[in-house]
Each structure stands twice: as structure tokens, then as C-alpha cells.
Amino acid sequence: MRKIAIFVGSRANYSSIKSVMQAVKDHPDLELQLIVGASAILDRFGAVIDIIRNDGFEPIAQVSMMIEGETLGTMAQSTGLGLLHLPNVLQQLQPDVVVTVGDRFETMATSIASAYMNIPLAHTMGGEVTGTIDESIRHAVTKLAHLHFPANEDAAERIIKLGEEPEYVYNVGCPRVDVVANTLKYDKDKFQKDWIEAEGVGGSIDIDKPFLLVSQHPVTTEYGSGEQQINATLEALQALKMQTIMLWPNIDAGSEDISRGMRKFRERNDHPYIRFYKNFPVETFIHLMDKAAVMIGNSSAAVREGAYIGVPAVNVGTRQIGRLRGRNIIDVDYDSDKIVAAIQTQLEHGKYESDHLYGDGEAGKRIADILATATVKPQKQITY
């Protein structure tokens, strides 16, 4: 019985690994050791841990590691705090493999703790290309990881180019798409309208009429420009005055800049057409993407799940630069006029065809099967 420790540190993390958690939990030869920490345990970021528990997963450990401030310095320090706590957790759990997700800053804490402690490290969603500090983190984690689970062939090839042994690189598809496929297949009718109405703050939304879906996060490598960046988007919304569902940003450095921009906008403008949310249950968000007239911002979800769903999307700025994308994306700069124009183009186009660029919905099961059987050696060595 192999023990598989999975660290979930944010709402984005959870969407990215949920299908793997389920597949590990269901696998006869695997035991799931779920560690929840960072912003995933914070009320202020939507208490993702409660959603996780509601979904039937019980965390075996919690890690408080977010130092308040949301500056570049506290982002590094929070990673340091994670690195102080995680070795204790891993020492106690003695996992056979640690699974870390993607490219958020706390991923580095999990990766270093695991690699330094000679515990084989598995990494999902490596090998992709984007902007922001995530780009550096993602490839650095690849160089620490022993097992690679990229989301598509392009990413898999890039990991091999990075000098990783091909036998440890598995193109499994993206686990986020698993959740999408599953949700749209089985739960098409179970859309939680009530939840949409009960939660959130601001104007009321009629989900059966066209609406915009906005999610814009800070770009850490452009730290200090967040308020200006969100303002471009907010002005575009104000110009359109279509009904809009808008998310607060994640906890990356610069989060407070985006939030301040949003708060000021709320104070200065009448905005009955926008409703603000801290968080959504994973499935609800997928349904929202499926129903949204246009998705706007810089979330990877628009690129990744968006391709599969076919949601028309306007990607603003550099955060997703370089990431493999389907036809559903129009890229624009932080410029309200261009954002308005792109939204209008997408409104005219309407829904796109589903594109399996990021997998077919079976990633979780493939990963679990590999975790159950792969043999890894702690000592890595570059292939060239």
C-alpha cells in the first residue's frame, strides 16, 4: 500500500488535483495523505478546506504558512514558513511519493521539502510556458521532481528537453479537464443557481441570460501595476454594463493592489450589474464557464478548461503568455478599449467547439495507476 501525500494550497490547486485525489483514494493499492495549507485553509480565500471536506476528503494535516502582506517579500517568506513546517509533516506521514501541483509559489516549499528528504516527488502540469514568476517556479520544480505528469504532448516534450529521463515523463492530460469532462457529462442539470444567488455580494444575476465571467490575478513579475491592470478591465466592464460575475484575486504578491482597485471601483461607481465572489465550488465554476457569454481576465482556467468547454475568452496581459492555447482565446493588452472590442468580438462569435488540447478527462486515473507502480530512485541526474 503506497502512501501518496498530496499538498493542496489554494482553490486553483484543488481544481487542478481533485481528480487525482479521487483516483488515489479509490485505488486499491494507494492511500491518500491529504495535506491542506496556505490559502486553502483561510476564510478570507473562501475556506477551500470546507469545500474539500464536503467533497469527501479528510485532510490528515494542515499547514498555516501564509504571512500577511502579499508583497513579493512575504511571498518568499511564506514559502520559507512552509519549508519549516512541511518536513515535520512529511517526517510524520512517511509518504512513498509526494505530489505537488503546477507552479504556485508554495509548490516550491513542497518540492524542496520532498526532494531534500529523499522522498520521490511527482509534479503535475509541468512543462508548460507562461509569464509571471510561475514560469520560473514550474521549470525549477521540474528539475527537483522525479515523476512528471504533464498535461499535453507539447509540455511532455519540453520536460524531456529539460534533461529529464523520458521514462519518468507521462503525458496524462490535465486533471482539471477531468473535472470539467465529468461535470459537464454527469451534472449538466445540477447547476447550483441557489448558491449563485445566496452567496456573493453586489447586484443580482440572472444566470439564464448572457453574462460575463471575470477572474484576474496579480502578475508577480509586474508587481506594483496590479491596480492599474484591474482598472483597465473594470473600465471595460463599466463601458459594457452587461451582467457580470467577478472573482476576487488569489493570494499572490500584488493581490492587495488588485483588491484595492476593485474596492475603489465599488465605492466610486454604481455597479448593480456586477456580483462579487470570493470563491466557487469547483463544479459551479465549470458550469459558469460553460454558460458564460465571455470569460475575461488572466486565469489559466480560460486557456485550459476553456479549450475543452469552448468558452469565448478574452485573455488580458502577460500572465498566460506562451501557454498553449486553443481558438477560444483572444489576447489583449491592459487597455480598456481593446478589452471592450475583444469582448464584443467574442459575444458575436459565441461558443467554440470543444478542443482536447489539454486532455480527455482521464488524467487522474492514469496518474493514480502510475503512482501505484512506478519505481523511482531518489538520485536524479540530467540526461545530457
Site for a copy of itself in 147-166 (CB under 8 A): 158, 161-163
* Residue in 221, 225, 238, 354 binding a copy of itself, rule: CB under 8 A: 221
CB atoms within 10 A of CB 48: 25
CB atoms within 10 A of CB 116: 12
68: contact with a copy of itself by CB under 8 A: yes
Residue 21 or residue 121: which is nearer to a copy of itself going by CB? 121
> Minimum Å distance from CB 26 to a copy of itself?
27
71: contact with a copy of itself by CB under 8 A: yes
State the burial class of residue 35 (Cβ atoms within 10 Å of its Cβ: 0-12, 13-18, 19+): buried
Tell which positions 159-198 bind a copy of itself, by CB under 8 A: 161-163
Tell which positions 122-151 bind a copy of itself, by CB under 8 A: 129, 131-133, 135-137, 139-144
> Minimum Å distance from CB 375 to a copy of itself?
16
Distance between first and last Cα of the chain: 35
Cβ atoms of 15 and 282 within 8 Å: the answer is: yes
Cβ atoms of 213 and 292 within 8 Å: the answer is: yes
Tell which positions 251-280 bind a copy of itself, by CB under 8 A: 253, 256, 260, 267
* Residue in 220, 250, 315, 346 binding a copy of itself, rule: CB under 8 A: 220
Taking residues 302 to 341 in sequence order and writing x for each that binds a copy of itself by CB under 8 A, - otherwise, the string is ----------------x--xx-------------------
> What grid cell was written down for 36?
491542506
Residue 35 or residue 99: which is nearer to a copy of itself going by CB? 35
Taking residues 26 to 45 in sequence order and writing x for each that binds a copy of itself by CB under 8 A, - otherwise, the string is -------------x-xxxx-
> What grid cell was written down for 264?
475603489
Cβ atoms of 122 and 142 within 8 Å: the answer is: no
* Residue in 26, 29, 53, 73 binding a copy of itself, rule: CB under 8 A: 73
Cβ atoms of 82 and 114 within 8 Å: the answer is: no
Provide the strand spans (E) within 211-346. Answer: 212-215, 244-247, 274-277, 294-297, 313-316, 329-332
Identify the CA nearest to 178 among candidates 358, 49, 333, 24. Answer: 358
Tell which positions 338-377 bind a copy of itself, by CB under 8 A: none
Cβ atoms of 31 and 299 within 8 Å: the answer is: no
User: What count of residues does the chain have?
Assistant: 384
> Minimum Å distance from CB 67 to a copy of itself?
5
Residue 304 or residue 380: which is nearer to a copy of itself going by CB? 380
* Residue in 2, 25, 31, 76 binding a copy of itself, rule: CB under 8 A: 76
CB atoms within 10 A of CB 189: 6
Contacts of 198 (CB under 8 A, 6+ apart): none
Q: Which stretch binds a copy of itself (CB under 8 A): 49-57, 215-223, 297-305, 326-334?
A: 215-223
> Minimum Å distance from CB 132 to a copy of itself?
7
* Residue in 54, 373, 375, 381 binding a copy of itself, rule: CB under 8 A: 381
77: contact with a copy of itself by CB under 8 A: yes
Contacts of 323 (CB under 8 A, 6+ apart): 128, 129, 130, 300, 303
> Minimum Å distance from CB 39 to a copy of itself?
8
CB-side neighbour CA atoms (13 Å) of 43: 0
Tell which positions 100-119 bind a copy of itself, by CB under 8 A: 105, 108-109, 112-113, 115-118
